Amino acid sequence: MPNVRSRVFSASSTGPPQHSLAEIRAKAVEHLGHQPCLWQIKVVEAILKRDGDVICVSATGSGKTITFWLPLLFRPEGIQLVITPLNILGDQNVAQLAKMGIKGISITSETATYQNFLDIEDGKYRVIVTNVETLMQQDGGFEKLWKKPQFTSRLISIVWDEGHCVSKWAGFRPEYKEVGRLRFLIPRSIPFVIVSATLPPAVLSDVLHTLQVLPDKVTIIRRSNDRPNIHLIVREMKYSMSSFKDLAFLIPEDWKPGDPPPPKFLIFFDSIADSIEAAKFLRRRLPLAERHKIKWFNSDMSTEFKEAASDGLKKGEVWGLSCTDSFGMGLDLPDILLVIQWRSTCDMCTLWQRLGRAARALHLTARGLFLVEPKRFDANIAKAEARAEKRAESTKSSGEDNPQL
């Protein structure tokens, strides 16, 4: 990790107007109706100072998103540009902003129209949420906006929501590798704001390198990413993985209408095919009229299907989803009570992001269940090694008893 240090700024430094912590707190209470936490206020303070980039690490569901919006209260003509890894998050952000009386727009391949970019240039929207592919499109709408001082002069910051994706998703979304080019297209005074629950040293170092963050021009606000209201369980798988019988506990064999439903759940897979087959297995355990209450959710599905599934889960019409990471980080679903990781196929960052979908309403308690293949457990590894040694000894003994002439 590079030599990155948090900096303390002087209130007398030159640049944009300085705002005290008390002033930020009072403005937030006035407009939001509740008092933000001190760490949230400090993130906002660092953004408004515009004296370098800002990194915020805090637990899933802890309230990082509000730090994007509060700076808008201090810059009446200001604009926030948010880069999100998932389009569904953009739609959610726009809906949340509407409740606050802030006009935003989600720009995707479907909405990247000439008229929408003209409206953005004219200042119709205070917040623009987009994905990395649309952001970096050659000769696209954003490339034209960078050349418009009337737009760039209003930018408060560029926010990299779920900032770990700059590193972790670059392998299958190559535009993430190119985002450092923005530094040469926009004024250096526009800070990058990088937020995530999972930025361990190696990932953070890669993100800083990709985004060309200067080590002596960055403020880091790091909190614990612990989620004490999620109880973690590791369970050894007992059945063949292709049978998906280790998920059978979700739907008892004799379940009938009128019986209690399972807790609202998500099951995460690294394979789309596995996620679909697992959902089919669970649906077969239900009467025909109830099978629609378990759905699969992945990047192959249409936007309309994904929105309907997410909305159904939120309303309780759907009990659970068998999904991949396309079911979004940061989605506003506060009452997921069970998250299951199927097999030990992901790294710790991904695992913690997935389990962190649970109990985002912090007064709730949820379970995070990690179903792990038997071969991963120490006792089974030791048994396998003992069997291998025994076979090796047997082979050696057989060779000694039958020497080749």
pLDDT tens string, the chain, 405 residues long: the values are: 444 444 433 333 345 678 999 999 999 999 888 899 999 999 999 999 999 999 999 999 999 999 999 999 999 999 999 999 998 888 889 988 998 899 999 999 999 999 999 999 999 999 999 999 999 999 999 999 999 999 999 999 999 999 999 999 999 999 999 999 999 999 999 999 999 999 999 999 999 999 999 989 999 999 999 999 999 999 999 999 999 999 999 999 999 999 999 999 999 999 999 999 999 999 999 999 999 999 999 989 988 898 899 999 999 999 999 999 988 676 779 999 999 999 999 999 999 999 999 999 989 999 999 999 999 999 999 999 999 888 888 887 776 666 654
- Name the residue with tokens 């939120």: 314
Residues contacting 77, CB < 8 A, separation 6+: 123, 154
In sign, the C-alpha dihedral spanning 46, 70, 306, 311 is: positive
Residue 175 is classified by DSSP as G
| Residue 17 per-residue DSSP state | P
What gap in Å lies between CA 233 and CA 340, rounded to an integer? 9
Contact by Cβ (8 Å): 179, 135 = yes
Residue 65 in contact with residue 330, Cβ under 8 Å?
Answer: yes
**For residue 199, what are its two tokens?**
């930025």
Domain ranges of the chain: 21-222, 230-376
Contact 331, 93 (CB under 8 A): no
Q: Give dist(CA 203, CA 165) in Å, integer.
A: 9
Domain 21-222's class? alpha beta
Same fold, 21-222 and 230-376: yes
Could you give the CA distance from residue 336 to residue 358 in angstroms, rounded to a whole number? 5
In the CATH scheme, what is the code of domain 230-376?
Answer: 3.40.50.300
Helix (H) or strand (E) holding 55: strand 53-57
